[in-house]
Structure 1
Amino acid sequence: MDRLPHESVDLIYIDPPFYSQKYYEVIWDESAERYAFEDRWRGGRETYINYLLERIRKMHDKLNPTGSFWIHLDWHIAHYMKIELDKIFGQANLQNEIIWQRTSAHSDAKRFGHVHDTLFFYSKSETFTWNPLFGPHSPEYVEKFYRFTDRTRGRYRLDHIIRSQSMGPRPNLSYEYKGYKPKWGWRVVREKLENLDRDGRIEWSKTGRPYLKRYLTEMKGTALTSIWADILPVQAHAKERLGYPTQKPLALLERIVSATSNPGDMVLDAFCGCGTTMEAAQRLGRHWIGIDISQTAIRVVENRLRKIGAPAPQVVGLVETEEQLRRLDPFEFQNWAINAVQGRHSTRKIADMGIDGFTFLENHPIQVKRMDDVGRPVIDSLVGVLEREKDKKGMVIAFGFTRGAIGEVARLKRESGIEIQLLTCSQLLEGISASQMIL
């Protein structure tokens, strides 16, 4: 995300892993490979919030002044996040709290079933892109208001064509038509009234009062509200289902993209997962950028877009070999390593006090070494950092470790209760699962 110019994105949608203590493992039918996707939050709520806010502040910088930001959350964390989001975007720029009813039934033994997610929709300023959307009228609404029918155009309702007293007189709208001259005038000029009448759109009541006929088939529908109960989750046998455990329905993202961006705009999803936002943006004629920590997810997105005939996307930053890693400059290598374990970056790039980052949510120190044979001195250095930070756990990421380093880590755990996880770049390139993460 750091590579994106400031104020270059028109719409940002993110669906970060929920604060729900869950693990997911999925088999993708297309390749019969087993991929691990986690929705994993070990640690406190504040740590989770800080993890997201660090990234959202950067997103705010990338958003155009007329842009919009959407975040998809569940009930565990939504309103804690709202307090912090108000600080970033401004309370006045919260346009909606959207309730998406994702399922109609959920059994909870001792409380009402949780059947909804929350989406917060913020604008960056008071001027933002907004395209009103409409849904079909309910059958009850149609029965109540569209009570009349004609043979050619179907159901219609009667609307006012003459002005009321509250609207006041208008000289150019005060005229007689077919012997009828309203006291306060008509709502349209004579020429338009004549055209409406010729088209069969004026109906006269038994008392001689004219009305305008509005046909159901020509109406936009009912304006959407902040409660969305008409979009179903991705069903087990749905054509769009990819097997991604938290996959959102395409219709949900199409609604968001349609309402808060225009064709040709740039859409960003910084937790793009299996690429639903990317497909919605592609289908609706928007440009898009997808970011995900998982190299597997990026491959899945590429395959998904290929299936709908989209041009091959440009993939940036996808490191696949140790050779590519060795060509990165020190800071890029450090960023890659911290991202690979979903860690939090140290804000100090120089004089970092021996800490390059912190483990995901539990905030244990991480040291990153662009070396092949990390030995005992690095372990001793990290122990000093842990003593200073009053911590008992830490992590070192490198290309390889000496026997001395591995032996010292084992001794520290056995004799001092200090846990240091040693991770190699090859492990991270292959993908590390939750069970392999001890911190």
Structure 2
Amino acid sequence: MLVDNKLYYGDNLEILQKYVEDESVDLIYLDPPFNSNQDYNVLFSEKNGSQAASQIKAFEDTWRWDQAAVEAFQNVVENGPEKVALAMQAFRQMLGANDMLAYLSMMAPRLVELQRVLKETGSIYLHCDPTASHYLKMLMDAVFGLINFRNEIVWLRTTPKSHIKKRFSNAHDSILFYSKSENSKFHLTYRPHDQSYLDKFYRFTEPETGRRYRIGDLTNPNKHRPNLTYEFKGVTRVWRWTKERMLKAEKDGRIVWEPGKVPGYKRYLDEMPGTPFTSVWTDIRPIQSQAAERLGYPTQKPEALLERIIKASSKEKEVVLDPFCGCGTAIAVAQKLKRKWIGIDITHLAISLMKHRLHNTFGEKIKNKYEIIGEPVSLPDAESLAKEDAYQFQWWALSLVMARPVEKRKGADKGIDGRLFFHDDPKTPTKQIVISVKSGHTGVAHIRDLRGVLEREKAVIGVLITLQEPTRPMRAEAAGAGIYESPTWRTRHPVLQILTIQELLEGKGIDYPPPSQVNVTFKKAKKEVEVNNDRQNELELDQ
């Protein structure tokens, strides 16, 4: 079945080049890593009542000037568009061969590809912080053209830090907004008027209808318009309208006039769209630690931020692309607003988080509305991934059973690769399933080790996920571990279970009380419904 929405696993440069056609995307939002030399970790609240948090390294937000960076730089200079090549050479002359140049060498070819896939009427929003925003703006000037720069949006993302003593506290992100051409589409969005503004200007209420209004000026600022100079209500002025239009407005009850005064125009509050948003956004709060939409992804942005961008630069059924989609805020909002979408990420962990988010937000029906490209779909695919990257294989395998990975610390491997939490009895604490993933040779010793982990961690079920077929002695050892009985559901489940990758691909899962009722492993996203329209006041602009 053909679907409109795509979620790709892989390097976004390769995905763009291989799968995304020229001028096929209406809106691009990207929030690339900022080269701020920090390791980002995905945080998950513990479900066992403790205040601790498990951390999983999602990606290392840094690029080094090494041989790979040298090759990337040379490729852009030798094969990229002329202005981009010149910009990169200027960066090297100014910055030298350092890590910032490595970062820009990574971004340049991706921006070139994004320019290629964007429609003539499309727009791109690049989210960044002050670390590299000035360099990225110059690079985007080279890729998209100076005349296609629209705004640098300033988003107040945090409260100022009081401990900063020798400079002003950094409290904002920048969002660089460019169009593909002068034909780009833009829908002006509004915020409600401030109450003080309403109290000052909309001081009148129509007794018959209860509608609030203000009195607008009907005189023309241009005093040299003889065709608009006439007497109305005993007052001769240069008016804004022709006499015919003025008489129609009077007939419609829109003229306010008292003898001896200049007539005015009745402007109803309910006809006014609000105050247009500017390029400074202070009304969207960052995601707080207890926010309902918080999923624990380090760079997660508020849905309200993406909603404003998507509404401003796209319409229903148009295509939104996020090439660094992380936990999937852009694609979740695009789905809610009835846009088509393309998401790309380089880690199976992010893909897993996005799958959970979409499922939790939109329910079972979402599975038929998108496809994942790049994930293993057969045993040879899984074997290839295991050889290529053991950690990516592990994260992918855990995603098949809706488990979360555990943090890996050097010298601290306790025989657990993932955990799954469930709550099947209101009288007892949350229970856990511990999971071990093996891509190489397995034997009875692994089952015995898992049994020891089960006892040490006080888990009720242990699962071994294996790429190879288990031996008969392994299955016998697992069967000897006994049965877990759910006190509420009155169901029986093997304490030690073995699942092969082939079985998981065929749809088999962990045997435990009904997962849809008891699974509390991942923090769930807010339930949403897809809206029927943008529910906003819009004004289509020519530029």
Answer yes or no: same fold by TM over 0.5.
Answer: yes
Cα distance in 1, alignment partners of residues 150 and 338 from structure 2 = 24
Among all aligned residue pairs of Structure 1 and Structure 2, give the percentage whose two residues are the same amino acid.
39
Distance 1:231 1:302, change over 3 A: same
The 3-state SS of whatever aligns with 1:187 is: coil
Report matched runs for 1:21-420 at 5 Å: 21-28=37-44, 35-43=56-64, 44-107=99-162, 108-151=164-207, 152-153=209-210, 155-166=212-223, 168-170=225-227, 179-180=233-234, 182-185=236-239, 187=241, 190=244, 193=246, 196-197=249-250, 200-205=253-258, 207-309=260-362, 311-312=366-367, 313-319=370-376, 323-324=380-381
Cα distance in 1, alignment partners of residues 139 and 152 from structure 2 = 15
Cα distance in 1, alignment partners of residues 55 and 261 from structure 2 = 74
Cα distance in 1, alignment partners of residues 377 and 63 from structure 2 = 28
Cα distance in 2, alignment partners of residues 39 and 109 from structure 1 = 29
**TM-score using structure 2 length:** 0.56
Letter in 2 for 1:287: K
Does the 8 Å contact 2:223/2:238 carry over to 1?
no
The 3-state SS of whatever aligns with 1:308 is: helix
Does the 8 Å contact 1:15/1:71 carry over to 2?
yes
Distance 1:261 1:161, change over 3 A: same
Letter in 1 for 2:198: V
In structure 2, the partner of 1:368 is none
Does the 8 Å contact 2:43/2:298 carry over to 1?
no
Distance 1:30 1:215, change over 3 A: farther
> Does 2:28 match 1:12?
yes
Cα distance in 2, alignment partners of residues 21 and 320 from structure 1 = 35
Q: How far is 1:155 from its partner?
A: 4.1
Structure 1 segments unaligned to the other structure (5+ residues): 342-398, 401-425, 430-439
RMSD value over aligned CA atoms? Answer: 3.2
Q: How far is 1:306 from its partner?
A: 2.1
Cα distance in 2, alignment partners of residues 79 and 34 from structure 1 = 32
Q: How far is 1:8 from its partner?
A: 0.7
Letter in 2 for 1:94: F
Letter in 1 for 2:62: W
Q: How far is 1:243 from its partner?
A: 0.8
Q: How far is 1:314 from its partner?
A: 0.7
Structure 1 segments, 4+ long, off by >6 Å, are 30-33, 173-176
Distance 1:184 1:105, change over 3 A: same
Cα distance in 2, alignment partners of residues 105 and 326 from structure 1 = 49
Does the 8 Å contact 1:278/1:288 carry over to 2?
yes
Letter in 2 for 1:93: N
Cα distance in 2, alignment partners of residues 167 and 68 from structure 1 = 42
1:222-271 Cα deviation digits (max 9, x unpaired) = 11111111110111111111111110000100111111112111110000
Structure 2 segments unaligned to the other structure (5+ residues): 1-15, 49-53, 65-98, 394-438, 441-466, 468-500, 502-543
Letter in 2 for 1:187: W
The 3-state SS of whatever aligns with 2:298 is: coil
Letter in 2 for 1:289: I
Q: Which has the higher contact order (CA 8 A, sep 6+)?
A: 2
Of 311-320 and 93-102, more deviation after overlay is shown by 311-320
Q: Across the two proteins, how many residue pairs are aligned to each other?
A: 335
Does the 8 Å contact 1:174/1:181 carry over to 2?
no
